[in-house]
Every structure is written in structure tokens, then in C-alpha cells.
Structure 1
Amino acid sequence: EVKIPEAFEHRYEEMRSANNTISFIGTAVMAILYGLLGVGVSLFFMLRRKTLIWRPPLQWSVFIGVAMFLAYLTMISLSWFQYDTSLSSSQFIFQHVLLAFVNGLLTAALFFFSAMAAEGLDRQAFPDHIRFWRSWSPTVGASREIMRQTVFGYLWAFFMIGFVTFFYWITNTVFRWWSPAENMMDPNILALPFPWLLPSALSLNAGFWEECLFRAIPLAGAVLIGKHFRKKGLWIAIALIFQAVIFGSLHANYPQQPAYARIVEMLIPFMLYGLIYIKWGLLPVVVSHFVYDIVLMGMPLFLLSAPGMWTHRALLVIAALIPLMIPLYRRIRAGSWYGIQAEELNGTFQAEEKAIKEEVKTIIPDIPVQAGRSFPTLAAVAALIVGGGLWFIFTSFEQDVPKLEIDRDKALLIADAFMEQRYPETDTLGLKPYVRLVSGTGRGALFAWEHSDRQTFHDLYERTLALNYYEVVYKTFEGDVERRSETVTVTIGRKNDILGWYHHVPEARPGASLSEAEARALAERAIERHYKVKIPDLEAVQVLPEKQKARTDWKFIYRDMNAGLREGDVRYIASIAGDAISGLKTEVHITESWERE
């Protein structure tokens, strides 16, 4: 691990506080303007006027809530790494099932009220929009208009991917913004029983709910207010900018600098999303947002190889294509393209409420209706090509971080061999292994990158440290609290080597109380043997004794000033429980002088 001084922690938190402040302001504005006023007030007036449609949003909210509940349930297999051994395993599982249920319930409730208000405001503000809840009906779903909106949503999603790729390339290389990337491959998803379900559910909820709350409510509300004050254009212009800024600010708590990076990133794209909504309604923006999210969230499935992975990939692709398959299915069942009729538009809703006895069956010709809301299909296709080209040109396919070349099974075999050699009593203790991949560029790695050349960085993170490694945790769920608290954590590096380990020995377990000299000799022998270094080449930094109930524990810290860093050093840490080595690890120490710069 990387040892980070307290001063650096404070400086980093101070830097990140701007991100969190922007995000907090955005959340407060969302809650007050969008939630209390946008959703609350609009639902109140729609209830009074009896114009509220509640059944379709209720059905969708139940579907999304159940999907989110099931998706969270699939993550229980990964939650054992946070298992509190003071609880029984049944209590632990019950807590996670309950948490998944509550999350699904809250998600469904938020979507229900947001979607109900968004559709109601859209119906009042945009009389020329097709009624949203009829978009996939047997008749309207078979129209050219719905098909065009759906196809445009897919094309726009891929344009967005290209735009974001180009944006980060420009800001990172030209303006030197700090936007740390995450690993696009997470082997932990292989532990999920249905790895396609989580990205599908998250994308559906985010794409649907966010477009209702952050696009339809502020923009439809602005149109209604603008009509009242006879300044519709001004209110729309203000709302277009405002909704994009608020949406970006809610995502500003990402670790990026400058703090307003996410606002700038999302300003233009989501102003365009707003224009698309104003022109054609919710369907194309919901489809586009859903496809954009599911492509990015589901990408790890296509970067990993494992038995049965093609089945999960196929299911993810099917989920992503559902918005397109529904109008295709409607068109095939209908046998011909359906012409949009007057009663399918928002503007005729009031006439229906008054129960006009004379049925007006004026069919709006298919071509004239499309003319008012025609899509720049060729421009969208061109945007797709340009976006894909920009992504291919400006995306670096080389990584500076050394590649992890072993798989989970290999890591487990190495850890088991280590445990058999060092802790032959493991089986009697009932300790069972749990494997996970730990990856990411932390602050210590950034410090090392800045204060070394490329070759030194690679040597350092191949020899004694790691950015990507497997962590095998041995724990038990049987016995009393003291027994369940005992764990052994083994860290496996990219070259099949043991980077370090830590044996958590229960505090109440009796053991020896070595003198400092005896403990130091034990620690130095362990460091020399395991890391192949000479103690005379290292410098003792700190000795930390810790008196337990029936033994004395020790921690010895040494540093290597000749590790190749221009500042800082590599530290070797040995932990002793009683008269046995309980842990070894290495880390990069960050200097205070660099922190204050």
C-alpha cells in the first residue's frame, strides 16, 4: 500500500472540497426546484385539475424497482469482503437483502413521482409531442415517427461517446486538466451470477429517471412559465443552460480538477439533449441516455474471457436493443406503417377529458407529421462516424501501468501454497479464501509517477509495489466472535509473487512479549528473506510497540532512499504478533515538501 501523510490527506480533501461543494449545491437546487417545486407543485395542480396519469408510471416504477432490487441482490457475492465477523452469516445476508429491497423501493418511488410529473408537464407544454405513454402502444409504436426517434436515440448515444472521448483528450493534453481514468476491466464482475443485469438495471434507471427529472421537468416548466409571462424564448434559453449546469454539478464530486470540469464537459451535450427534448419529446433522449450508459457500464463484459461469458454478453446486447426491438415488433405485427392520429398528440388531451361525444377521426397524414419533427438522419449517421473516428484516433490503447498477467485461479493457487507453507493449521481454523482484484491509480502512485522517470516507475511497481494485484482474504464464519475476527490477507503481484501479507491475530490471544532487540532481529530477517534486500542498505524509521492483553505486538518501518525516486522513498513494514511475523508490506512515502508545493 501507499503511506500517505496526514498533511497530504488534508490538502487533498481541501482540493476535493470544491468538487463536493459544487455537487452539494447542485443537489440542493435539484431537491428544491426540481423536487419540491417541479414535482410537488405540478402534481398538486394536476390532481386538482384531474389531468394526472398515474397508471403507466406506476407500472414502469415497479419494473425498474424490481430490476434494481435483483441487480443489488447479485452483488451479495462481492459483499463478503466487508463481512463483519461479529455477525452471523445469516444476519449478514439478511442485511444485504433488506438493503437491496429498500434501494429498489426508493428507486421505484423516486421514478414514479418524477415520471408522473414529467409526463404531465410535457403534455401541457408541448401540444405537438406524441403522448409519451403511448409511444410503444400497438398503433403508435408501429409508426415511422417512433422508429425514427428510436434510431436517432441510438445514433446520438454513439456520437456522445465520441464527443466525451475527444473532450477528455483535449482537456488532458492541451489544458492539462486532471481526470484520472478507471480500469475498464473489472474481473470482480465474474463473481456475479448475472453480470449483465447490473449495468442493464442501472442504465435503465439512470436514463429514464434522469431525463424525466433533469430534462422534462425544468424545460417543460420553463415553457409554461414563459407562456404565462409572454417571454417563452427567454425562459427556454435560460432553462437550457440551467438544466445542463445543474446536471453537470451533480456529477462534480468525481475526482477531477478543476472542480468545474464535469460542468464544462456536460454543458454542450446536455444543452443539445434539451433541444432534442423540446423538438421531439422524451423518447429519443431516454433511449439515447440508456444506450450511452449501458455501453459504458457493460464494456467490462467484452474485455474479459471466462466460461459462459458469451451468454452474458448476448443478454446485455439484447437488453441494449430492446428499445429498438419494440417498434420493430409493433411494425411487423401491424403489417404497415401507422399514421399518427390527432388523439395521439398532447394537444388533444383536454378534448378527451371533456368526453366529447363526437369522435374526430381526422388522421394526420404520415408525411406532414414527420415534416414538423423530422430528424437529421444523415447528420446523425455522420456524427456517429465522426464520433467513432475521434474515439479511435485519440484513444490510447497502451497503458503505463504494468499489466496483471495472472487470473483469479492462479492467484488463489499461489495464496493457498503460501498458506499451506506458513499457516499449515488453516484447515483446522476453518479459514476459507475470497479473491478480489484491487486496482486503480492512487495518490501514492501519482506521487511516484511525478518523481521518477517511466522506467523507474515501471521497475518500482514490478519489484516491490503494485497498482493491480489480487487480494486473497482468508476468513471464517464459524465459532465465536474472537475466532471469526481472525483473518489472513495475502497480496499477489503480477509476476506470481507474494507482495505482502497480514495476519490479523485476535487481541485476546496469548503470545510472547519480545524485547525490542529480539523483535527487531525477527523483523529484519523477514524483510531480507522475503524482499531480497540488505538491511544495512535500509534506514530504520520507526518502531511501534503495542501492548495487548497477553502479548506484545511490534511494527518496524525501514526506508530505502535509493529506490530511484527523486523525492520520497520506499518503505518496508514488518508487523509482529507475539513472537511471529504477522505481516509484511511495502509502500511509497510521500514527502511533506511536495505536499506544500
Structure 2
Amino acid sequence: MRRPAFWALLVVLAGLAAAVGWHYFPRAFSIVSLDITMDRSAALAAARDIMQRDGRGPAGFRQAASFALDDDAQTFVELEGGGRDAFMRMLREGLYSAYTWRVRQFREAEANETLIRFTPDGKPYGFVERLKEDAPGAALDAAAARRIAEDGARARWGIDFAKFTPVETGQERRTGGRVDHTFTYERPSPTLNEGRYRLRLVVSGDRLTEVAHFVRIPEAFTRRYQNMRSANDAIGLGSAVSMMLLYVLGGIGVGLFLMLRRRWVIWRPAVAWGVVVGLMQALAAVNEWPLMWMSYDTALPRATFLTQQIAIVIATFLGFAVFFGLSFMAAETLTRRAFGSHPQLWRVWGRQPGSSVSILGRTAGGYLLVSAFFAYDVVLYLVATRAFGWWAPSEALLHPDVLAAHVPWFSAIANSFQAGFWEESLFRAVPLAGAALIGDRFGKRRLFLVLGFIVQAVIFGAGHAPYPTQPSYARPVELILPSIGFGLLYLYFGLLPGIILHFTFDVVWFALPIFVAKAPGIWIQQVMVVLVTLVPLWIVLSRRLQIGRWTELSSGDRNAAWQPPAAPERTESTAAIARHALSPRARTAWLAIGAISLIGCAYGTLASRDRGRLTISRTQAADIARHALEARGVTLGPQWRVLPVPDNGEGGPNEFVSDTAGEARRTELVGSYLPKQRWVVHVRTFEGDVAARAEEWEIAVRDTGEARILQHRLPEDRPGATLDENAARAAAVAALRDRTGLDLARGQAREISAKPSKLKARTDWVFTFVDVTVPALPKGEPRIEIHIAGDEAAGVGRFVHVPEDWERLQRAAVTRAVVLQIVSGLVFGGLFVTVAVLGVISWSRRRYAPRLFLIAAATILIVSVTSAVNEWPGIMAALQTALPLQLQVGGLIGLGLVGVVITASLAGLAIGALPVRLAGTGASNDNDVLRFGLVAGVFGAAVMMAANALRTPAWASAPWVDPLGTFVPFVEVALGPLAAFLMRMALVLSILVFVEVATAGWTRRRALGALVLALVGFLGAGAPVGLHVAPWVAGGAVTAAGLLLLYFSLLRADLTMTPMAIGTMMAIAELARGAQRPFPGALAGSAVAAALVLVLGWWWTHALRRARATVSATVAAEVTP
């Protein structure tokens, strides 16, 4: 490699490869040539002109713009609508503009908004104005509304109605009296095989509010495409599971653990680079914020929306920083141990190594190989698409949205750097270095390296399978040779050249839109891409200038020269922790508090409101549903699956009715227009033609045994009648009378909407009626919706219509709860991972209790797997009939096992470290620990009951019927709290130990300790329920105060009473839940669950005390001179 001839040849080959790639690129990939003459500023200006011309709302609007592709239409046309040629012809002839500028005019807290579309060359292409639901307007008949629609569309939007035929006409009467009409037109010719070019016009009152072009995509294609894509997703899922098991658990978990024990880990640079890459990903998300206003929900205050986005960015940064840091740590550590000839990664850009010819060669080689990999991709797709029929979506090289970012060049660099650095570390270095080390252990290094090569190539390629390409194995096959190339680079030269090559290769693809764009100042973005991409080369050249000559990489800069530091001597900790002993007065007080709390728990359980019961079993519900179908003349064959799911009834707008009409009125409507606890039985099939599998029945089975068919869903291409509006209305009125007892002719109901859907071989209708026999609500209406499929009354459903204003308030409340859940997840998830990592470090230093780790992890694993098997009926009911059953089952099992193993490992790691951390904290005798652990648990249970009573309104008190959906409900109830107990114990006890040590037994830094406990207690109360925040704040304050009081005056006397306290709390909660007797066997199952969790609390209290005593004795012996 040091010969000039070699580098000259490499440069020539790189140039030839670049020429090949450049020449054949348009032939290998289907490139869409677009005449984009309208830029973003022009789109915004044109939209403002139309807003002023037509008087569209809202007033005082803000604007956001995006250049978008209708991906669904493109995929359909290219796969089943005529192919790529048909897609190109569609764009060329203006049959449908799949690429459009979309300009949104919106205003915070305003439902009225307008979206205007333009073609790439700037022609107006339609709009949608959303009016407020109760905005005033005329109530025209269909003929008058059609005249307004066609006149407006023809005059202002250039619609030539000679090319269209009317196919659908629908109308809906709004709550304010306005009638909205929808007219749908279709091009008779040309067509897209089963697809159709359509046009939709909407007249709201006497105002044209929508002109929309679209392609009607057959349901059969959508389901076939989902089925086809499932193979891609399954391959990708297999890669993810393999990555988690082999690379994360094996490489990062076990690998780093073993290296820590040998003091081989250099963690600071890895953590720093993890923070850098994670921060770049977070900043890349912030960089795209100008586009996020296209999805802004105006029901949210801007502050709430921004807070949500900031919370997501922070969560992204923290998660990526930790995961990337651990990946880099494992990759560098294992490489340093396995390949002594490689340069030390964290020193390659140092003053001396950075000026070496070896580092220069690795850097230049990485750049020069980019064109070879690019040419390989081009030639492969050129051959595969023409000879083997491979498909990838057509692409437009110019993406104007790239220029919408604050700093367009940054996103391309950030995403490429993350892919290059992280993927080469985790997907290349970890498996190959791990394979080399395992091979050394067994004396077969070459064999294990070959196996490692195969594994890394398969997993890396399969990880890219979910890209939208066909066949499903296209990307895995494509990436076999690149994976081998990257692997050889790593084996011979280390991580640096592979990272540079991967990073630069991705920059070439991600930055293409920047280099084909034409805009003022775009050259600055292009120059920045080049300059930042070449940063590794600039660093090497700067080192050369510093030294003044090219140097040789010294042996001291290679991995073989690095030796772990000597083990530090163990010394007894000098930080003294004040011991807290319970005084006689405190003992008496806490015993009294415990007695009062027990009475309070009993009263709370007995006085709690009746939430209802569901006494029918799963098999009984299935039988009742079968009989209901038989009564309709439906005979189920063996291919049909009857899948009952318990429904506790909380899904309806209970809060709306309770807030606006009162709790008594809400209770009256439960079971009629508000859902009541029941079984929802799904009858589906996973066999046969994927389009035909769309057929499904949905039957509601009440506790009385009454069955009602809610819906019969038919495949869109199933032949049926084509009724006109009058005939369809007659069918709907008959169904209304037969299914609900309401007679439209006698004035018991009022029609408010009729909406048709013209399908391939039939016409479906949806009619909506208001039940006027029910006393009027202050807001909202009791409505009935009837689906007519052909001439069959396929569905009848009752519901309470929620006004738009209230529904917007609810969306804002849900978003607020999501933000709080993100914050809570960050806090508790971060703490959980932190204590687990500290457990690994403690274990590596041999200050650990491996037996407790194994017991805790095995318990969680066994209980979780048992529960998952028992919950299989509910899992089956959630599967999609459009996807292959076997792939879905395999994916769920794989992901489930990985999730359970990781969760069990994290909890076990945290628990195994507790005895060491508990050493030096307060200690009491066994009797006191058990006695006051019970007292603490009863008090905690009373606090939680009080908090729940404050934060949970009556409308949210649904019965606990979920266990009925399992094979054996008793087992589900009995085992339910066991895994949760261990995870809570691991987290809560770790937090309490941290506070105890940080405050030195509550003698210093009390404010910090109080803040931590208050935050944990407050967030532990959960997210707000519904619109009102005050009850949630009150409930959180109660739990925070309760935790502070417990720790300060009781638990810190001996933290080993915590497991007993948690077990007691959970036992009382289980008994309280079972005492409601929501289903047969609930109380017995809860009693067994309470007994088991109490036994667990008792056992773990004693186990931690014994382990703590052992650790204390061992430490004392080690430090004794």
C-alpha cells in the first residue's frame, strides 16, 4: 500500500467507477424528471393571493409549505396500475399530479384552516378549506349545491367537466343547520386498471370548500401490498431480533462486562462520541422544524406543541447518546482486545498518529472507495431491474423540502455520520471482534471469523430489507458484497476507513437533492457538504502541518501496546452515613398510623363505587356469537376464527357527557349510546385470498347473553347491489326500525347525513340519524349510524356525537398527557438503565450478588413468558388478516422474547447490586423490619387509594375485565403483580439508596434528596385523566408527600423493609381490585396474587438482609490490615 503505483491505480479505478456510476445511474434507477419552476416563496405568495381572492379563512393566518409525493398512488400505479411507464405518462399528461406543493394557512386555536395545492410548475391544483362544524351556512338542495361546485371549480380551478362523470353524491347536516354536500367525479378513460382518477368537490352551505384530485386505490391492492411488504418487514424484524440478542446483549452486555472485569474499557471517549452523535441526531430533528407546522394540530396551544416536540428531541438525544455510547464503547474495546495491529481508534487523530502515513492511507482509501461502491450499486440495479424484475419506487432527485430546513447541509451530514459511525461499530466491529475473541478462546480464530463474516453480512443486509423494494430480499442481496468489503476493510485496517467510506457514501445519496437544486445561495450549502464531509482529511492534513512531515505509526499507537491499568486497592468508604433509629414514640405513632391506614384501605375498598361486572366467559361469548351468526343464516367454516375480546366500556365519550350533562345523565346512557362492559367478538380468517380476507364480523355480547351484530365488513370487490339514494335510504330506515325500534316515519329519528361509496361491483352507503326520543343533551347528540353494503344492512352502531370544540379540547389534553408520559418515561426509564449499568460495573468489580441477579431475572422471565402464553387469545385478536399469520406470530414471539430478556436482565442487574449499596445504611432487627415494613406498605396503600380517588373521576371508573380475555383468567390475576413487584423493588430501592447515600443519612443535601423523592412520588401517580389537571396535581402531591414522609421517618431506619412495604402495598391493591368482583374468580385470583406478592416481599427482605450482612463482613475482612 505504500507504493505510489498502488495509489495511482486506486485513483484511476476510482475515477473509472465514478464514470460508470454517473453514466448508468439514470438507467439503473427510475428517475422522475420534474419541471419544478415554483419554489417555496412563490408557493407561499400564490397561496396568499388565492386566499385574498376567494376570502378563505382563517383571518390572520400563518403559513407552512411542503413539496410532497403521493406515495400510495405512486406505489399502486407502478405495481398494478400500469407500471413505471404509466406513472411517467400520468405525470406527463397531467392526468394526476402526484407531486404537489402544499401550502397550509392556519391559526392557533382556530378550527378554520385552508390547504392549497399547486403543481410543480405553479398551476393551482385544488384546495381544502375546513370550516368550523357549527359555522353558519345555507341548507341548499343537491342540485343547487352542484351548480355552485361546478361553476366555482370550472371558473377558478380550471376543471374540465367534459372529462369526468359523476359517481357519488352525499350530504351531511351540521349541528348549526348548515348542509354540506360532497360530489365525486371519475374519469371514464384512461384508467389505471382497477384504479380510477377521481375528483372531489365539497360545498359547505353555499360556499365551495374543496376541490381535490385523487387516485382511488382498490382495497384489494392495499391488502396485497401489505401482504407483500410483510416479507420485507419480517426479514427486517429478524435482523433486529438477531442484533439485539447477538450484538446488544452479547456484544455490548456480555462483552463489556468481561472487558470491565479485565479493566480493558476506555469509556470516556466512547461516551463523548455517543453524546456528539446523539446531539447531531437531535439537532437534525430541530433542523426540520419548519416542516413540522404542516402537521401542527391547531387545537393545541403553540406552547404545548413546542413542548411536545422538545420533549421528543430530548428523549431522542438521551436514548441515542446512551445507546451510541455503549455501541462505540463495545466496538472499540473488543477491537483493541482482538486486533493488536490496528491503530488505537481514540488516538488516530492525535498529534503524532494523525500525521502518519498509515492514517493518511486509511483516510484517503475510505474516500476513494466510495465511487466503487456507488458503481456497484448502479450496475447491480441496472442488471436486476431489467433481468430479474426488481422494483424500487421512482425517485425525483430534486426535493425542495430539503431547502426548507434551517441548515440544509446539516441533516445530510448528521444522518450520514450516525449511519457510518454507529453501523460500522455495532454491525461490523462488535461481531467480528467478538468472533475473533471467541475463536481465540477455542483455538479456532479463522473458523469463527468466517462465521462472524457470514453473520454480520446477513444481519446488516437484512436490517435494510424494510426499504420499499421488491422482491423482499433485494436489499439483503444487494448488501452482501458491500458487507464483505466493509468487513475486510475492518479486519485489515481497523474501523477508521470503513467509517469514512460508509459516511461519505451516505452523504452522496443524502445530499443529492442539494446538488441538483437551483436556488439563490445554494452553493453555500453545497460547499458546506463537501467541506464537512472531508473533515477527517482536514484533520490529517492539519496534523501533518503541525509536525512538519509525514510520520510512521508507532507501535505504541497500535492496540497491542495498550495494557490495562493495575487494579486499585480496595479501601473502606470514608463517607459515613448517619444511622436513623426509631424512637419509642415513633414506633407507637407508626403503629397507630398503620392501623388507621388499614381501616382507611378497608373503607375505601368497601365503599368504592360499583363498576359493573362481566360474568360470561370467553368460550361462552364465542358460542353466543356463533349462534347469532347462525340466526342470520351465516355458517362458519373451519377457516374462520372466533376471537372474543373483553371491553370494559371506557372507550366512549364518557367524560364529555359527564362534564356537560352530569354524571347521572351519563349513567343513563351507559349501555345504549355509551358503551358498557361487554364482549366484542371478532370473526376473521387468515386463510385464502388476501383480498377476500377483508371480510369480518364484529358482534357485541352483553353480560345478559344478548348478542348484537355491530358490523359485517365486506371486501370492496365483493359483488352487490347498486342502490340509488332513495332505495338505499329505504334499506337504512328498515334497518333502523328493525335493529333499534325507531321509526323515522313517526318522527322518532331524524336523518342528518347520507354518504355513498361507489365501488367496483356495488355501491355502499352510510346513513346517520339522530335519536329524538332521548331527551336532548346540553351539547352533543345521540346518533345512530347505519352501513348499507350493496343491499345488506351491514352495520348499525349507536354513539354520542361530540361537538368539534370539545373534541379539540380533548385532543389538547391528550397531547399534554403524552408530554407528561414522555417526561415520566425519561425519568424512570433513565433511572432503570442507570442502576442496571451501575450493576454491571459493580459486578465487574466483584462487589455483587450474582445469585440474586439470577433469581430476580429468572422469576421475571418465567412469569412474563407464562403470562404471554396465557394472553395468546387477546394477541390473536389483534393480528391483521392482511398479513401472513405465521410471520406475525414469529415476529411477536421474537420481539417478545427480546423484550422480556432485556427487561429481566435490567431488573436483575439492578437488584444484584443492592446488597453492596445497602451496606453501611441503617439496620434494624428482623422483627422490626417485618413489622414496620407491613406498616409502611399499609400506609403506602392508603396513600395510593387517596391519590387515585382524587385523580380518577367517576366516569373513568371502568370494571377490570381484561383477564377474561386469557386462556385461564385465574392464572393471569394470580401472576399479574409478580414481575411488576420485582421491577418496582429494583427501581424504588435503588432510588432510596441513592438518596440515603447522597444525603449521608439525611444530614446534608436534604433539598436534593427531597426533590428526588418528590419528583419520583409525583410522577409515580401517572398522567392526568381527562381535561382537568387539578385532580391530577392533587393526587401527585399526595403520593409525593407520602413517599417523603415514609422515607424520612420510617424507611431509612432500615431500607431492607422496602420489599416488604412494596409487597404489602401491591397485595392490598390486588385485594381491593378483586373485591369489586368484576368477573367470576376475580376475588380468588386476587387473594392468591396478594399472598404471592406478600411472600415475595418477605423473601426478598430476608434475602437482601442476608446478602447485605455477607457483603459487610467481606468488605470488613478485605480492609483489615
Residue 239 of structure 2 is aligned with which of 26, 44, 61?
26
Aligned position for 2:544:
331
Rounded Cα–Cα distance in structure 2 between residues aligned with 1:232 and 1:218: 13
Contact 1:343/1:349 (8 A) holds in 2: yes
Is the 1:141–1:326 Cα contact (8 Å) retained in structure 2? yes
Report the equivalent of 1:76: 289
CA shift digits 1:279-305 (9 cap, x unpaired): 010000000000011111011111111
Q: Is the 8 A contact 2:392 2:468 kept in 1?
A: yes
SS of aligned partner of 1:196: helix
Question: What is the TM-score normalised by the length of structure 2?
Answer: 0.32
Query: Which of 254, 260, 273 does residue 60 from structure 1 map onto?
Result: 273
Contact 1:131 1:346 in 2 (8 A): yes
Aligned counterpart, 2:264: 51
Residue number in structure 1 paired with 2:641: none
Which of 435, 438, 449 is residue 222 of structure 1 equivalent to?
435
Task: Return the alpha-carbon distance in structure 1 between the equivalents of residues 769 and 411 of structure 2.
Answer: 46
Cα deviations across residues 201-231 of structure 1 (Å, max 9, x unaligned)? 1111110001000000000111111112122
Following the alignment from structure 1 to structure 2, what is the Cα–Cα distance between the partners of residues 209 and 224? 21
Match of 1:237 among 419, 426, 450: 450
Following the alignment from structure 1 to structure 2, what is the Cα–Cα distance between the partners of residues 236 and 50?
25
Residue 562 of structure 2 corresponds to residue 353 of structure 1:
no
SS in 2 for 1:2: strand
Mapping for residues 399-418 of structure 1, pairs under 5 Å: none
Offset at residue 104 of structure 1 (A): 1.8
Which shifted more, 143-152 or 68-77? 68-77
Contact 1:76 1:93 in 2 (8 A): no
What amino acid does structure 1 have at the position aligned with 2:391?
W
Which one-letter code corresponds to 1:67 in the other structure?
M
Return the alpha-carbon distance in structure 2 between the equivalents of residues 244 and 546 of structure 1: 57
Asked if the contact 2:408–2:525 (Cα under 8 Å) also holds between the matched residues in 1, the reply is yes
Q: Is the 8 A contact 2:753 2:768 kept in 1?
A: no
In structure 1, how many angstroms separate the alpha carbons of the residues matched to 2:322 and 2:753? 62
User: 2:328 — aligned with what?
Assistant: 115
| Contact in 1 for aligned 2:753/2:767 (Cα 8 Å) | no
Q: Compared with structure 1, are the counterparts of its residues 354 and 339 closer, same or farther at alpha carbon in structure 2 (3 Å cutoff)?
A: farther
- Corresponding position of 1:12: 225
Residue 297 of structure 1 aligns with an amino acid whose one-letter code is F
Kindly provide the CA deviation profile for residues 231-282 of structure 1, in whole angstroms up to 9, marking residues without a partner as x: 2111111111210110011111112221111110000111111011000100
Shift of 1:181: 3.3
Specify the alignment match of 2:499 in structure 1.
286
Query: Superposition pairs for residues 503-582 of structure 1, below 5 Å?
Result: none
Scaled by the length of structure 1, the TM-score of the pair is: 0.60
Task: Give the Cα separation in 2 of the matches to 1:547 and 1:157.
Answer: 65
- Amino acid in structure 2 at the alignment position of 1:244: A
**What residue is the counterpart of 1:590 in the other structure?**
none
Give the whole-Å Cα distance in 2 for the aligned partners of 1:66 and 1:540: 55
Counterpart residue identity of residue 260, structure 1: Y
Give CA deviations for 1:325-372 in whole Å, capped at 9, x if unaligned. Answer: 11011111110112221211111112x6369xxxxxxxxxxxxxxxxx
Deviation digits for residues 497-542 of structure 1, max 9, x if unmatched? xxxxxxxxxxxxxxxx9998xx99xxxxxxxxxxxxxxxxxx9967
> Per-residue CA shift, 1:423-469, capped at 9, x if unaligned?
xxxxxxxxxxxxxxxxxxxxxxxxxxxxxxxxxxxxxxxxxxxxxxx
Matched positions, count = 378
* Preserved contact between residue 241 and residue 267 of structure 1 (Cα < 8 Å): no
Residue in structure 2 matched with residue 272 of structure 1 by the alignment? 485
8 Å contact kept, 2:752–2:769: no
| Residue aligned with 2:551, SS | coil
C-alpha spacing 1:515/1:317, structure 2 compared with 1 (3 Å):
closer
- Is the 2:752–2:768 contact (alpha carbons within 8 Å) kept by the matching residues of 1? no
How far, CA to CA, are the matches of 1:515 and 1:97 in structure 2?
A: 41
Is residue 202 of structure 2 the alignment partner of residue 202 of structure 1? no
Name 2:731's counterpart in structure 1: none
What CA distance in whole angstroms lies between the structure 2 residues aligned with 1:181 and 1:37?
40
Q: Does 1:308 align with 2:521?
A: yes
Percent identity of paired positions between Structure 1 and Structure 2: 40
Cα pair 1:139 1:334 within 8 Å, conserved:
yes
**1:334 and 1:9 mapped to 2: Cα distance?**
63
1:39 aligns with 2:239: no
Q: Deviations over 1:380-424 (max 9, x none)?
A: xxxxxxxxxxxxxxxxxxxxxxxxxxxxxxxxxxxxxxxxxxxxx
Pick one of 136, 139, 146 that aligns with 2:359: 146
* Whole-angstrom CA distance in 2 between matches of 1:219 and 1:296: 27
Out of 355, 370, 375, the position equivalent to 1:162 is: 375
Q: Quote the offset at 1:132 in angstroms.
A: 0.8
CA distance 1:184–1:138, shift in 2 (3 Å): same
Contact 2:336 2:344 in 1 (8 A): yes
- CA–CA distance in structure 2, aligned partners of residues 514 and 56 of structure 1: 67
In structure 2, the residue corresponding to 1:353 is in which secondary structure?
coil
* 1:298 and 2:511 are equivalent in the alignment: yes
> Is contact 1:294-1:320 (8 Å) kept?
yes
Residue 7 of structure 1, CA deviation: 2.4
Instruction: Give SS of 2:534's match.
Output: helix
Greater CA drift, 22-31 or 53-62: 53-62
Counterpart of 1:509?
A: none
Moved more, 541-550 or 297-306: 541-550
SS in structure 2 of the partner of residue 305 of structure 1: coil
Question: Distance in 1 between the 2:363 and 2:234 partners?
Answer: 37
Match of 1:318 among 514, 521, 531: 531
Distance 2:396 2:255 in 1: 42
> What amino acid is the match of 1:298?
A
Q: SS in structure 1 opposite 2:350?
A: coil
What is the aligned partner in structure 1 of residue 424 from structure 2? 211
Q: Distance in 1 between matches of 2:319 and 2:753?
A: 57
In the TM superposition, residue 543 of structure 1 has moved relative to its aligned partner by 6.5
Q: Which amino acid in 2 is paired with 1:252? A: A
Q: Which residue of 1 aligns with 2:202?
A: none
Q: Distance in 2 between matches of 1:40 and 1:84?
A: 42
- What is the one-letter code of the residue matched to 1:216? A
